Amino acid sequence: MPSHSPVARIRNLTPSPTLALDAHVKQLIAQGIDVINLGLGEPDFNTPSHIQQAAVDAMQQGFTHYTATAGIIELRKAVAKKLEAENSIVYKPEEIVIGVGSKQLLYNALMTLIEKGDEVLLPVPTWSTYEEQIKLAGGKSVHVPLKPPFKLTAKDLEKKLSSKTKLILLNSPSNPTGATIDPEELKKIAKLAVKHDLWIVSDEIYEKLLYEGEHISIASVNESVRERTITINGFSKAYAMTGWRIGYAAGPKEIIDGMVNLQTQTTSSTASIAQYAALAALNDSQTELVKMKNAFVKRRELVLSKLSTIKGISFSKPEGAFYVFFSVEKLLNKKYPTSADWAKALLETQLVSVVPGEAFFAPGYIRLSFAAAEDTLKIALQKIAIFSESL
C-alpha cells in the first residue's frame, strides 16, 4: 500500500481560509441554520442575462469544443481593445492569455517568473492565495507590512529589497483592505522596479469596483514598466461571473508564451462557453455593470455609517472592492483574545459570518464583505453591534 500522505509540496500548503470558512457556513445553511454570510468575496448578483444568453447561443451554435489554449482570438482581441481604451496599455492578442480565472493566471505567472529562492515583495494585509502560490512556485514571500489606511508606498517596498528580490506583487484595489495605490506612488513603485530590474505582477481584478479616484494600470506608466509587468484581471467581480472561471493576463510575449505552455500541460483552455460569455461581457452593454457598481456604492455607505456607530471598532474607508477591513483590537478580551475567536463567536452567537484578519496575515482585524442586499447588511450590522456591546 503506498503512503496515503500527500507529498511535502501539498502538505505544506495552507488551504484557502476564506473557502474553508465558506464551506462551513454553507454546511450550516444546509442544516437549516439561518447564517448571514459576509465572508466570501463574490458579488451576490446573478450574471447579467445577456451574458448568460451569449453562453447559451455559443453552446447551440456548437462552440462546445476545445479552443486554442490561450483562448479564442475574438476574446483576446476584445481584451486588447479594452486594455488600450480603458487602461492605456497597447497589447497584441498574442500578448494576452485567457485562463481559468485570474487565480490560475496568477499561479501561471508566478510559475513562469519565479525560481527557487527568489523573493517576492508582498504588501500585507494580503490575500492568502498570493502567499501559497509564491510557495508553490518555489519562491519566498517577503511581507511588506502596511498600517491603516494600508496605502502602499515605494518606500515601504524599498525597505524590504534584497539581492534576491525578483518580483513585486501589487493588488489595487486590495483584497482585503479596499485600499488603492495613489498615482504618485504607483509611478515611484514603477521607477523602483525599473531601477532594481524587478518584475511586477499587478492583480487588477477589483478595477471596476472603485469608489474614489481613477484606476491606473502600472503597465501604462511607460514602456520599460510595461516590459516587466504582467497585468492580471478577470470577469468574476465586475460582471458577477465567479462561477464561470475566466480571467486574463497581459504581458511580454515570451512570458505569456510560457504561461500558455504551462496551460497546455495543465488545464488547456478555459471553458469555451465561458469565453463567449466573457466576449459578450466586454463587447455588449455595460448598463448592468454600472447598476451593480451603484448598488455597491450604496452598500458601502450603509455599512460604513453603521460601523462607525459601534464603539471599539475602527476602520479606514475602503476606496475600492467590496470589503471593509475593520479593527476589533479594542474589543478583544480574555474570553475572545484574537480576531479569529471574535469571528468564531460572532458566527456562533449571532449567526453572522465574517473573515478574521488572521486569514490575511493581519490579526486584530475583520474582513466584512458588503456584497449582500442592503436589508441583509442592516440586520448583520445590528447583530455585530449587539455582539460588540456584549463584550
Cβ atoms of 353 and 38 within 8 Å: the answer is yes
Residue with cell 459576509: 38
Q: Contacting ligand PLP (CB under 6 A), which of 242, 283, 314, 316? A: 242
User: Is residue 320 within the footprint of ligand PLP (CB under 6 A)?
Assistant: no
Q: Which long-range contacts (CB under 8 A, 24 or more apart) does 9-18 make?
A: 9/136, 12/135, 13/132, 13/135, 13/136, 14/128, 14/131, 14/132, 16/128, 16/129, 16/132, 17/128, 17/355, 17/358, 17/359, 18/128, 18/355, 18/359
The minimum distance between CB 251 and ligand PLP, in angstroms, equals 16
Whether residue 54 contacts residue 76, with contact meaning beta carbons closer than 8 Å, is answered with no
Report the amino acid identity of residue 38. L
CB of 105 to ligand PLP, least distance (A): 8
Among 103, 135, 299, 367, which residue interacts with ligand PLP (rule: CB under 6 A)?
103
Binding status of residue 39 toward ligand PLP by CB under 6 A = no
With vertex at residue 237, the alpha carbon angle to CA 69 and CA 96, rounded to the nearest 5 degrees, is: 30
Query: Which grid coordinates belong to 231?
Result: 497585468
Q: How far is the CB of 139 from ligand PLP (least distance, A)?
A: 18
Give the up-direction half-sphere exposure of residue 255: CA atoms within 13 A in the CB hemisphere: 25
Phi, psi of 272 (to 5 degrees): -60, -45
The dihedral through the CA atoms of 374, 380, 382, 385 has a sign that is: negative
Q: Exactly one of 39, 101, 178, 258 binds ligand PLP (CB under 6 A); which one?
A: 101
Judged by CB under 6 A, does residue 175 bind ligand PLP?
yes
- Measured from the CB atom, the residue of 203 and 288 that comes closer to ligand PLP is 203
Q: Which stretch binds ligand PLP (CB under 6 A): 100-108, 291-299, 307-315, 329-337?
A: 100-108
Neighbouring-strand partners of residue 199: 167
Binding characters for ligand PLP, 366-385, by CB under 6 A (x = yes): --------------------
Contact pick of 203, 207, 288, 319 for ligand PLP (by CB under 6 A): 203
Question: How many residues bind ligand PLP, per CB under 6 A?
Answer: 13
- The least distance separating ligand PLP from the CB of residue 308, rounded to whole angstroms, comes to 25
* Residue 66 cell numbers, joined: 476545445
The residues that bridge with 167 in the sheet, in sequence order, are: 120, 199
Minimum CB separation from ligand PLP for residue 267, in Å?
Answer: 12
Question: Of 45-53, 101-109, 135-143, 375-383, which part binds ligand PLP (CB under 6 A)?
Answer: 101-109
Binding string to ligand PLP for residues 41 to 60, with x set by CB under 6 A, is what?
x-------------------
- Radius of gyration, CA atoms only, the chain: 21
Q: Of these, 37, 69, 141, 236, which contacts ligand PLP (CB under 6 A)?
A: 236
Q: Does 133 bind ligand PLP (CB under 6 A)?
A: no
Please select the residue that binds ligand PLP; options are 78, 205, 273, 328, rule is CB under 6 A: 205
If one asks whether residue 127 binds ligand PLP (CB under 6 A), the answer comes out as: yes
- The stretch near ligand PLP (CB under 6 A) out of 97-105, 158-166, 258-266, 310-318 is 97-105
* 327/307 Cα distance (integer angstroms): 11
Binding site for ligand PLP (CB under 6 A): 41, 101-103, 127, 171, 175, 203, 205, 234, 236, 242, 247
